[in-house]
């Protein structure tokens, strides 16, 4: 037995051992242990001293127990690795080294257990295995192969993936030449040869997209990368990767082709196409839009409508944009008018479609505008033509009506009077009827003369227009009417500027002035001195002559449409024959002008006569 002192000394020495060590008696109870041992197993001496070593392990470990027993029999030196779960239930690994414990008489009195925590090492090993597995998996999925060229013996090795890409069997033995010859003759093979040369001689790595042909003749796109590896100053190998990217390249090429197709299409459509961002700035424009705005694409991008069109138009367009982007509802086929900064006006059929982002909000819009200005002009011309035609048709019907009515009314009178004459016996009455027949005949002649005037105006297509000084002409008409004007105590105010000349048929302008002036005086207000005022001004394409009077005035609501009709008079006046204004209107229109009327009963009438300056 050990003495008390010895025990204390042993205890003290063992406590300080630099390795994790425990001393067990023959019953495998812990007698002593180093501090390091306690620490490693996270134990305290109180709970362990005198306890069987097996309490350390939750599970039985037969191999470990076996070695302990062998040590008791004097067979020591058995090593091994054992795992256990510590107090916090973490798996720990340790390497053990058990030896027999002898006393000074060489009797085995217990076992000395030395352990080393190798948990971290075990974990690292597991991690490495995992990484290797992962790498293998990854390279298989990504079709990335690897290879190595060992400089010492020029030996080339390919991994399985590399072999698979080359479509060679697993036992294939590549060398430098065969490796290079897989690349497609020409650019690809030249590039790889130069890359390898530079890597060996200059130490430069490479990464190239190249074409190769597999052992089975398939053409592939690959990314070949290589990198020299040095040990100190000495080049030992070149390692590299090898990736099949045929699918990507092909889809890229397809995408490029599609893009090209789309660009060609968008550019050559005879429609203006543009994309705008939320601020209505142009972010894409096609050729048509560039041509329309007379600016190259790079200048147009980033500009908004306020920089391109006049302010009012730009605001309208911006409001449309906001509406489309806010409501996410497109505007389709709307007729719009654009006025460029230079004043050029264009009519478009416009569609604006919101571009919706993933968050459901608009991030811009795409617009299509088709220029329909020429169509619009044609439409306008056509409409004018229809107006002219329908006007002429109306005139024709009116004229036909007048002719039939007037001539027929005269013939009815003749017929009636002749009937009376034949059956009349009273001589005096017969003379009376003859007198009426003469009147009827005079009326017929006058009517025919008037109708003839109208026909003459309307059939004179090639009118010989001359430049006439309007003010002078008014003066001369005034002279011709002097007796009539004085008789009515009328005043003519000629306010037409001296420099206004108009292109008219001289006979017509005389008739027009005469008719309007006499008309104004005839329908004077009996309580006022008649004043006829004439003014003129130049307008675009027209010269406007206004003839105003202070006469009776006409209720235009009632008689407006009949004012210039033939044989319509509106005043109970013995001179009102209703032919003057009809002829006047025909003359104005024959010179491609027109006439409008303003009138107020009791105040007077203004006739505005527009003389066409162009034609």
Partner 1 sequence: MKTINSICIIDDDPITVFGVKKILGKIVEWNEMSSYADGKSAIDGLTSVFINNGKTPDIIFLDINMPIMDGWQFLEEFIKLPITKKVQINVVTSSIDPVDQKKAEDFALMTHHIITFRNKPLRIEEMKEVTKAA
Task: Provide, rounded to whole angstroms, the least separation between the CB of residue 421 and partner 1.
Answer: 11
Measured between alpha carbons, how far is 64 from 60 in angstroms, rounded to an integer?
9
Q: Return the residue of 570, 590, 592, 598 that touches partner 1, per CB under 8 A.
A: 570
What's the Cα-to-Cα distance from 184 to each of 206, 250, 373, rounded to whole Å? 18, 17, 57
Task: Provide, rounded to whole angstroms, the least separation between the CB of residue 576 and partner 1.
Answer: 6
Number of chain residues interacting with partner 1 (CB under 8 A): 24
Task: Provide, rounded to whole angstroms, the least separation between the CB of residue 511 and partner 1.
Answer: 22
Full DSSP string of 227-254: EEEEETTEEEEEEEEEEE-HHHHHHHHH
Told to check if 398 binds partner 1 by CB under 8 A, we report no
Told to check if 512 binds partner 1 by CB under 8 A, we report no
What's the Cα-to-Cα distance from 118 to each of 40, 92, 97, 115, rounded to whole Å? 11, 8, 13, 9
Told to check if 189 binds partner 1 by CB under 8 A, we report no
Told to check if 405 binds partner 1 by CB under 8 A, we report yes
Told to check if 421 binds partner 1 by CB under 8 A, we report no
Told to check if 415 binds partner 1 by CB under 8 A, we report yes
Asked if 139 contacts 146 with a C-beta cutoff of 8 angstroms, the reply is yes
Full DSSP string of 367-426: EEEEE-HHHHHHHHHHHHHHHHHHHHHHHHHHHHHHHHHHHHHHHHHHHHHHHHHHH---
Q: Rank residues 223 and 444 by Cβ distance to partner 1 and give the closer one.
A: 444
Query: CB under 8 A: which stretch of 2-10, 90-98, 231-239, 567-575 binds partner 1?
Result: 567-575
Task: Provide, rounded to whole angstroms, the least separation between the CB of residue 562 and partner 1.
Answer: 8
Full DSSP string of 485-541: HHHTT-EEEE---TT-EEEE-HHHHHHHHHHHHHHHHHT--TTS--EEEEEEEE-SS
What's the Cα-to-Cα distance from 122 to each of 27, 62, 78, 95, 601, rounded to whole Å? 31, 21, 20, 11, 118
What's the Cα-to-Cα distance from 563 to each of 267, 318, 554, 596, 599, rounded to whole Å? 58, 48, 9, 10, 11
Told to check if 419 binds partner 1 by CB under 8 A, we report yes
Q: Rank residues 67 and 605 by Cβ distance to partner 1 and give the closer one.
A: 605
Q: Rank residues 160 and 600 by Cβ distance to partner 1 and give the closer one.
A: 600
What's the Cα-to-Cα distance from 418 to each of 173, 199, 230, 411, rounded to whole Å? 136, 132, 140, 10
Task: Provide, rounded to whole angstroms, the least separation between the CB of residue 398 and partner 1.
Answer: 12
Told to check if 394 binds partner 1 by CB under 8 A, we report no
Task: Provide, rounded to whole angstroms, the least separation between the CB of residue 317 and partner 1.
Answer: 51
Task: Provide, rounded to whole angstroms, the least separation between the CB of residue 574 and partner 1.
Answer: 10
Query: CB under 8 A: which stretch of 150-158, 432-440, 514-522, 600-608 binds partner 1?
Result: 432-440
Q: Return the residue of 413, 488, 546, 608 that touches partner 1, per CB under 8 A.
A: 413
Told to check if 404 binds partner 1 by CB under 8 A, we report yes
Q: Rank residues 401 and 603 by Cβ distance to partner 1 and give the closer one.
A: 401
Query: CB under 8 A: which stretch of 132-140, 281-289, 339-347, 435-443 binds partner 1?
Result: 435-443
Q: Return the residue of 150, 198, 303, 568 that touches partner 1, per CB under 8 A.
A: 568
Measured between alpha carbons, how far is 477 from 496 in angstroms, rounded to an integer?
14
Measured between alpha carbons, how far is 244 from 219 in angstroms, rounded to an integer?
11
Q: Rank residues 409 and 546 by Cβ distance to partner 1 and give the closer one.
A: 409
Q: Return the residue of 246, 346, 569, 592 that touches partner 1, per CB under 8 A.
A: 569
Q: Rank residues 537 and 558 by Cβ distance to partner 1 and give the closer one.
A: 558
Site residues for partner 1, 438-457, by CB under 8 A, read: 439-440
Helix, strand, coil shares of the chain, percent, nearest 5, are: 45, 30, 25
CA angle, residues 168, 174, 177, in degrees to nearest 5: 120
Task: Provide, rounded to whole angstroms, the least separation between the CB of residue 446 and partner 1.
Answer: 14
Q: What are the strands of the beta sheet with 234-244, ordered from one edge? A: 155-158, 144-150, 234-244, 219-231, 206-213
Number of residues assigned to the chain: 615
Told to check if 119 binds partner 1 by CB under 8 A, we report no
Residue 259 three-state SS: helix
Q: Rank residues 252 and 439 by Cβ distance to partner 1 and give the closer one.
A: 439
Told to check if 339 binds partner 1 by CB under 8 A, we report no
Query: CB under 8 A: which stretch of 36-44, 260-268, 295-303, 570-578 binds partner 1?
Result: 570-578
Q: What sign for the dihedral angle of Cα 561, 564, 566, 569?
A: positive
Asked if 563 contacts 556 with a C-beta cutoff of 8 angstroms, the reply is yes
Q: Rank residues 127 and 408 by Cβ distance to partner 1 and give the closer one.
A: 408
Told to check if 393 binds partner 1 by CB under 8 A, we report no
Q: Rank residues 462 and 557 by Cβ distance to partner 1 and give the closer one.
A: 557
Task: Provide, rounded to whole angstroms, the least separation between the CB of residue 415 and partner 1.
Answer: 5
Asked if 72 contacts 26 with a C-beta cutoff of 8 angstroms, the reply is yes
Task: Provide, rounded to whole angstroms, the least separation between the CB of residue 440 and partner 1.
Answer: 6
Measured between alpha carbons, how far is 133 from 79 in angstroms, rounded to an integer?
30
User: Would you tell me which residues interact with partner 1 (CB under 8 A)?
Assistant: 401, 404-405, 408-409, 411-413, 415-417, 419-420, 436, 439-440, 567-572, 576, 578
């Amino acid at each position: 037995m050990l003495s008390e002192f010895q025990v204390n000394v042993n205890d003290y020495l063992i406590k300080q051992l630099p390795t994790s060590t425990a001393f067990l008696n023959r019953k495998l109870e812990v007698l002593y242990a180093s501090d390091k041992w306690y620490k490693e197993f996270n134990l305290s001496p109180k709970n362990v001293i005198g306890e069987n070593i097996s309490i350390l392990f939750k599970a039985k470990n037969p191999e470990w127990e076996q070695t302990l027993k062998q040590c008791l029999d004097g067979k020591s030196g058995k090593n091994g690795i054992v795992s256990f779960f510590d107090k916090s239930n973490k798996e720990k690994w340790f390497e053990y080294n058990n030896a027999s414990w002898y006393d000074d008489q060489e009797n085995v009195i217990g076992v000395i257990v030395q352990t080393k925590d190798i948990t971290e090492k075990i974990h690292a090993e597991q991690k490495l295995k995992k990484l290797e597995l992962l790498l293998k998996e990854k390279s298989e999925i990504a079709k990335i192969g690897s290879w190595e060229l060992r400089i010492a013996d020029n030996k080339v090795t390919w991994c399985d993936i590399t072999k698979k890409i080359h479509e060679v069997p697993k036992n294939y033995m590549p060398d430098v030449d065969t490796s290079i010859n897989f690349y497609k003759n020409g650019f690809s093979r030249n590039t790889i040869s130069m890359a390898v040369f530079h890597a060996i001689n200059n130490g430069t790595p490479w990464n190239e997209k190249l074409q190769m042909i597999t052992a089975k003749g398939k053409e592939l796109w690959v990314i070949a990368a290589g990198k020299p590896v040095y040990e100190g100053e000495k080049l030992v190998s070149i390692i590299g990767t090898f990736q099949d990217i045929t699918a990507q390249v092909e889809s890229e090429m397809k995408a490029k082709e599609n893009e090209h197709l789309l660009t060609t299409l968008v550019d050559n459509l005879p429609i203006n196409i543009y994309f705008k961002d939320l601020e209505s700035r142009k972010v894409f424009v096609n050729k048509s839009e560039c041509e329309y705005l007379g600016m190259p694409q790079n200048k147009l991008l980033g500009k908004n409508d306020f920089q391109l069109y006049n302010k009012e138009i730009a605001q309208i367009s911006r409001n449309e944009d906001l509406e489309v982007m806010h409501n996410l509802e497109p505007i389709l086929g709307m007729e719009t008018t654009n006025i460029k900064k230079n004043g050029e006006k264009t009519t478009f059929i416009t569609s604006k479609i919101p571009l919706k982002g993933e968050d459901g909000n608009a991030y811009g819009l795409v617009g299509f505008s088709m220029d329909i200005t020429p169509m619009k002009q044609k439409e306008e011309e056509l409409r004018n033509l229809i107006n002219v035609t329908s006007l002429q048709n109306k005139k024709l019907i009116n004229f036909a009506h007048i002719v039939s009515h007037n001539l027929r009314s005269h013939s009815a009178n003749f017929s009636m009077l002749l009937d009376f004459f034949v059956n009349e016996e009273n001589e005096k009455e017969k003379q009376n009827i003859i007198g009426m027949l003469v009147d009827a005949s005079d009326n017929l002649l006058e009517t025919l003369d008037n109708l003839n005037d109208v026909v003459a105006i309307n059939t004179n297509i090639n009118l010989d227009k001359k430049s006439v000084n309007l003010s002078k002409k008014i003066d001369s008409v005034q002279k011709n009417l002097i007796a009539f004007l004085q008789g009515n105590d009328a005043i003519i105010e000629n306010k037409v500027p001296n420099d206004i000349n108009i292109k008219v048929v001289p006979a017509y302008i005389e008739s027009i002035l005469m008719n309007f002036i006499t008309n104004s005086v005839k329908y004077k207000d009996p309580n006022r001195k008649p004043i006829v005022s004439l003014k003129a001004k130049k307008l675009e394409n027209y010269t406007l002559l206004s003839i105003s009077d202070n006469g009776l005035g006409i209720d235009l609501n009632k008689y407006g449409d009949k004012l210039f009709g033939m044989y319509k008079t509106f005043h109970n006046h013995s001179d009102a024959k209703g032919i003057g204004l009809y002829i006047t209107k025909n003359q104005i229109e024959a010179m491609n002008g027109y006439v409008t009327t303003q009138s107020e009963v009791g105040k007077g009438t203004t006739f505005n006569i527009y003389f066409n300056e162009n034609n």
